[in-house]
Structure 1
């Protein structure tokens, strides 16, 4: 397995569940809620959106493309991502849709900055139901969990 890739076997899912229960005081999102949220954003035209994701078992947030509905593999508790490989939905601490997305060209050209429609994203998510949304300086953040026990 390459760097940055994760595995999605039962042992890994158990480990992530244990780590979440140990390290986080409140889980806001389930695998089903993440699937519902990601599917709705894809269907609303955010399929090429750039997102920033913080995973419970990673020290730094990862920049990636929003997984498409077809990448969610229900009922399995993971999504496929060309950017970071398979990712466990329950491992998402937060997911952020940045107001301005940067798309690296890979060939040394200047990196274009593309605005993403936060008002439309918020409207899509609010129409689905109650999700833990918060505005940040960078964009719209959806909380998967909160209250890190180690920060108390």
Structure 2
């Protein structure tokens, strides 16, 4: 069960600045999906997990406003306020089911993603060697 209040308390305890809200995350995911950029993959860092994890980029169907979560194939429902940061990758890497077959690599439109996100305004973005990071919290 999603416990948004618990995640909010954890975030306030661990970080000094919250840059995102549930609404801002939803707006970002919906805008990128609606822009037709075909964003396929992101890396997500949760506030309560040490290692970042890959996930499919959320589609409009994964959003359930006004609920404070999105539904993911990898993790099930996740609380939006549990996202420390999300990185849109320059290249989506999809593992193949056939053993010995190399993964599929597809470029993702980072310039397009940046333009869409910046048009929304008030998002803290950081360029990384592998993509474009949206910062949810900072210390």
**TM-score under structure 2 normalisation?**
0.94
* Residue 87 (structure 2) pairs with residue 101 (structure 1): no
Return the offset for 1:47.
4.8
CA RMSD, 1 decimal: 1.1
Q: Could you say what secondary structure the match of 2:31 adopts? A: helix
Within 5 Å, which residues of 2 pair with 1:82-121?
Answer: 82-108=73-99, 109-121=101-113
Q: Residue deviations 1:32-71, cap 9 Å, x none?
A: 0000000001111245510000000111111011111121
Deviation at 1:106, TM superposition (A): 2.4
Distance 2:116 2:36 in 1: 10
Instruction: Tell me whether 14-23 or 25-34 shows the greater mean CA deviation.
Output: 14-23
Q: Which has the higher strand share?
A: 2
Corresponding residue for 1:133? 125
Pairing 1:3-152 to 2, within 5 Å after superposition: 7-8=1-2, 12-108=3-99, 109-147=101-139
Shift of 1:107: 2.3
Note the residue ranges of structure 2 that are not aligned, 5 or more in a row. Answer: none
Structure 1 segments unaligned to the other structure (5+ residues): 1-6, 148-152
- Count the aligned residue pairs: 138
Query: Which SS does the other structure have where 2:122 is aligned?
Result: coil
Asked whether the equivalents of residues 80 and 86 of structure 1 are also in contact (C-alpha less than 8 Å), the reply is yes
TM-score, normalised via structure 1 length: 0.87
